[in-house]
Structure 1
Amino acid sequence: MSVADRPARPRQSRATEAREAVKSLILDRRLGVGDPLPTESELMRELGISRNSVREALKALQAVGIVEIRHGFGMFVGPMSLGGLVDELAFHGRVTPADGGHHLTHLMQIREALESGLVMQLIDRRGDCDLASAVDVLARMAEEAEVGTVSPETDRLFHDVLYAPLGNPLVGQLLGAFWDVYHQLRLDLGTPVEPPAEVVRRHRVIYDAVVAGDREAALTAIQAHFDGVRGRLARLRGGP
């Protein structure tokens, strides 16, 4: 097919062109998180677009975290955020898909697969990983279990500090997004049925398997960790 015969690409809308122009400016100038952006007037002049287009572009980029607007201070390159994704996932977590499944089940499967891969990385690098913080959190879990229940915050902290030695900032963001979705839907999911001591035990088994370098035990421990969530999802769907 010759160039002349190829179908023409649809023209981008002005709003899309404005957004892409601002993003290109950020990349071309190699701006980083927290760096100031030009003012609206400067963007109008440099990009050759109207004030309305600039404002629409900035509003759209603010919604996805690319631009941060600090009233009274100016505009800056925004930090990475999965807040929009969390809200969307939490909303769809309350919607039953056409296939009769449940979005929360799919989300849990993704998180389980993610953590299964992460513990394998920890085992591969365990000689270089300081897991002392995980031991401290396990001790806090045990203290909480003795007087009542393990708090969701402590549970979340264990996973954060366990994978922190991998040095991948996206891991914390992704796991945090999953936690935030579960938190928003906690009333829909119902209360956990595992005794607090069992919650502590399951986390300790994960830690012990990583320290021992036992891949099979680590994967089994991760699977067991999510059995409680699977049970709550089953009850949500009306199962046993």
Structure 2
Amino acid sequence: MRGGSVPVTDEAIEKIKTMIVSGELGPGDRLPKEADLAERLGLSRSSLREAVKALSLIRVLDVRQGDGTYVTSLAPDLLLDALGFVVDFHRDDTVLDFLEVRRILEPAATAMAALAMPEAEIVALGGVLAELGEEPTVEALVANDLDFHRRIAAGSGNPVLCSLIESLSGPTARARIWRGLTQEGAVRRTREQHQAIYEAIASRQPEVARSWATVHIAGVEEWLRTMLGSAEGALTSAEVNGSGKRSAQDRP
């Protein structure tokens, strides 16, 4: 059973949150001194201290030793770091869940990028595809894939959407390596689909871009669903981590 201090700490967190949401404290503002703030909010200094500690962990507050406690920039990428931390604890059997969410979010981001991505960034996106050699290792292909999708998410112009997609990319990377090593034609299809996505963005065709992004992610998702349902499809860290440096041409 939890001690009685938890609700008090929750109350302290809520009161600080209210000060920020109401605009009484804004990004970059310094909190009043601990004793003054505790008295003003009707809290004990210990519960206020615990609340500050909790809010600093999720990047709402920044505790600077010898200087004071400040509200952070509250930028989406900063606040969503906490989500990335939680995502790192995923289990292999939840990878399909992450892929399903990616299939919902990334096509929308890709369509938005086709409308909003600046020309210079589209050129840079094409450069990412051109960097890949004719016979890349699967490891190099997946690194290139992560950069490609990251740039598209950023090109959507929505920093919250971009941060969410980046948080979801890590857990699915190993599945993409495994697919590249085991599924015939996976590397070729990945490159072709990347090219189609790029061309749709470059020609400012949002619905075509959305469709190709859906096909691209759904392909990995359906392959993994099939493999997880197969007795021969057991994924082990040794298979992926030990084989990631093999050439795409060497896959079974």
Residue equivalent to 1:200: 191
Amino acid at match of 2:50: E
Distance in structure 1 (CA, Å) of the matches to 2:11 and 2:189: 55
Amino acid at match of 2:212: A
Equivalent pairs: percent with the same residue? Answer: 25
Distance in structure 1 (CA, Å) of the matches to 2:142 and 2:33: 42
Higher relative contact order (CA 8 A, sep 6+): 2
Segments of structure 1 that go 5 or more residues without pairing to the other structure are: 1-11, 95-101
Amino acid at match of 2:26: L
Residue equivalent to 1:235: 227
Kindly report the root-mean-square deviation, in angstroms, between the aligned alpha carbons of the 2 structures.
Answer: 3.1
More helix by proportion, 1 or 2? 2
CA deviation profile, 1:134-169 (whole Å, cap 9, x unmatched): 1121112x23x5343335333222122224333211
Q: Secondary structure at the match of 1:171?
A: helix
The alpha-carbon distance between structure 1 residues 47 and 71, as it changes in their structure 2 partners (threshold 3 A), is same
CA deviation profile, 1:103-135 (whole Å, cap 9, x unmatched): 322321221121211222234457878511211
The alpha-carbon distance between structure 1 residues 127 and 83, as it changes in their structure 2 partners (threshold 3 A), is closer
1:203 CA displacement? 0.9
Matches within 5 A, 1:86-235: 86-94=84-92, 103-125=94-116, 130-140=121-131, 142-143=132-133, 146-149=135-138, 150-182=140-172, 186=174, 191-193=178-180, 196-214=187-205, 217-226=208-217, 227-235=219-227
Contact preservation (8 Å) 1:87, 1:181: no
Distance in structure 1 (CA, Å) of the matches to 2:189 and 2:127: 18
Q: Does 1:26 align with 2:20?
A: yes
Count matched residues.
Answer: 216
Q: Normalization by structure 2: what TM-score?
A: 0.70
